[in-house]
Homo-oligomer: A and B are copies of this chain.
Amino acid sequence: MVIDVENTVKEVEKEIEYLKSKTEKPKLLSLTTKLNGSIKAYLNSQAEIAKKYGIDFEYIKSDNLYEDIKKYNKDISVDALFIAKPLKKDYDDKQVAKLINPKKDIEGISYHNIAAMFYEDEYFIPCTAESAVKILEDNLNITGKKIALMGRSYTVGKPISILLQKKGRDATLTLINSKTKGQKEITKSADAIIIAIGIAEYLNEDFVSKGQKVIDVGINVENGKLVGDAKKTISKICDVTPVPGGVGNVTSTILMRNVYRAKILNRGF
């Protein structure tokens, strides 16, 4: 079966509606260091979704990203900052994480927000990680369940490993990397699989078993088409989120909710 994320999106939208009633129109500014086709497409879709939720949106091509971050960190007309990836070669993701104002950091990548997540005192957490965990929890009571996590990126795998350790979640997590032996046995015996490795259709029928939940975080371009890290056809065996239309949809909605959260954090109710 294909997992429908509609209800998860609606839940996030409910929070947006609530926050909207408490504050004025917020402003989201996205900065990008290059404007190629795929970044343009992403920013155009961000513009659309921002409009849908009543958010004032603008994007700027930045020729001096670090300076611009410092500038907009302080600019009170901007509530939320989004930094489009990938960055131009001369820039460093970690430097961005160090610089960005945690109160405007809707992607949850700043040093402060990462540490707050570690200490279970989080407000903004890495948005794609939050999305994956939310979809999983909406589809499975994970307490005492086995979860296989593939991938350990700063934005997805690693934060998910921290989020799933949170007390009250109490899942048993196995972290799989490219050097892991017996990957298929581990994934097959799990109750759920989260995959975020960026390899098109890596997770095929050999990795899954009946009744499992598979959260596919991958977005890869294959022959001009978007495909996930999991093969679509595994949905005959187990339940899997679609690509596109799965994790990505929830993430976009979470980002917009975070714009409202940022507005309220910076101005107060």
Chain A residues packing against B (C-beta within 8 Å): 94, 97, 110-112, 114-116, 118-119, 121, 143-144, 152, 154, 157-158, 161-162, 164-165, 167, 170, 172-181, 186
Please, which residues of chain B bring their CB within 8 A of the CB of A97? Answer: 115, 119
Contact B115 A181 (CB under 8 A): no
Contact B154 A119 (CB under 8 A): yes
Given contacts A144-B180, A162-B158, A175-B172, contact A116 B121 (CB under 8 A): no
Please, which residues of chain B bring their CB within 8 A of the CB of A144? Answer: 179-181
What's the least CB distance linking A187 to chain B, in Å? 12
Please, which residues of chain B bring their CB within 8 A of the CB of A181? Answer: 144, 172
Which residue in chain B gives the minimum CB-CB distance to A148? B174
Please, which residues of chain B bring their CB within 8 A of the CB of A170? Answer: 177-179
The CA of A175 and the CA of B164, in the complex, are separated in Å by: 10
Contact B94 A158 (CB under 8 A): no
The CA of A61 and the CA of B152, in the complex, are separated in Å by: 42
What's the least CB distance linking A221 to chain B, in Å? 25
The CA of A111 and the CA of B180, in the complex, are separated in Å by: 31
Starting from the known contacts A118-B118, A164-B175, A174-B174, 5 additional A-B residue pairs (CB-CB under 8 Å) come to: A94-B119, A111-B116, A144-B180, A152-B165, A173-B174
The CA of A178 and the CA of B174, in the complex, are separated in Å by: 15
Please, which residues of chain B bring their CB within 8 A of the CB of A110? Answer: 115
Contact of A114 among B115, B165, B174, B180 (CB under 8 A): B115
Please, which residues of chain B bring their CB within 8 A of the CB of A158? Answer: 118, 162, 165
What's the least CB distance linking A253 to chain B, in Å? 25
Which residue in chain B gives the minimum CB-CB distance to A111? B115
Contact B172 A174 (CB under 8 A): yes
- Most B Cβ at <10 Å: residue of A110, A116, A157, A175: A175
Contact B118 A154 (CB under 8 A): yes
Please, which residues of chain B bring their CB within 8 A of the CB of A175? Answer: 161, 164-165, 172-175
What's the least CB distance linking A156 to chain B, in Å? 12
Please, which residues of chain B bring their CB within 8 A of the CB of A176? Answer: 172
What's the least CB distance linking A237 to chain B, in Å? 23
Please, which residues of chain B bring their CB within 8 A of the CB of A118? Answer: 114-115, 118, 154, 158
The CA of A164 and the CA of B186, in the complex, are separated in Å by: 18
Which residue in chain B gives the minimum CB-CB distance to A93? B119
Top 4 nearest A-B pairs (CB, nearest first) are: A111-B115, A170-B179, A114-B115, A172-B180
| A-B contact list, 15 entries, CB within 8 Å | A111-B111, A111-B115, A111-B116, A112-B115, A115-B118, A118-B154, A152-B167, A161-B161, A162-B162, A164-B175, A170-B177, A170-B179, A172-B181, A174-B175, A175-B175
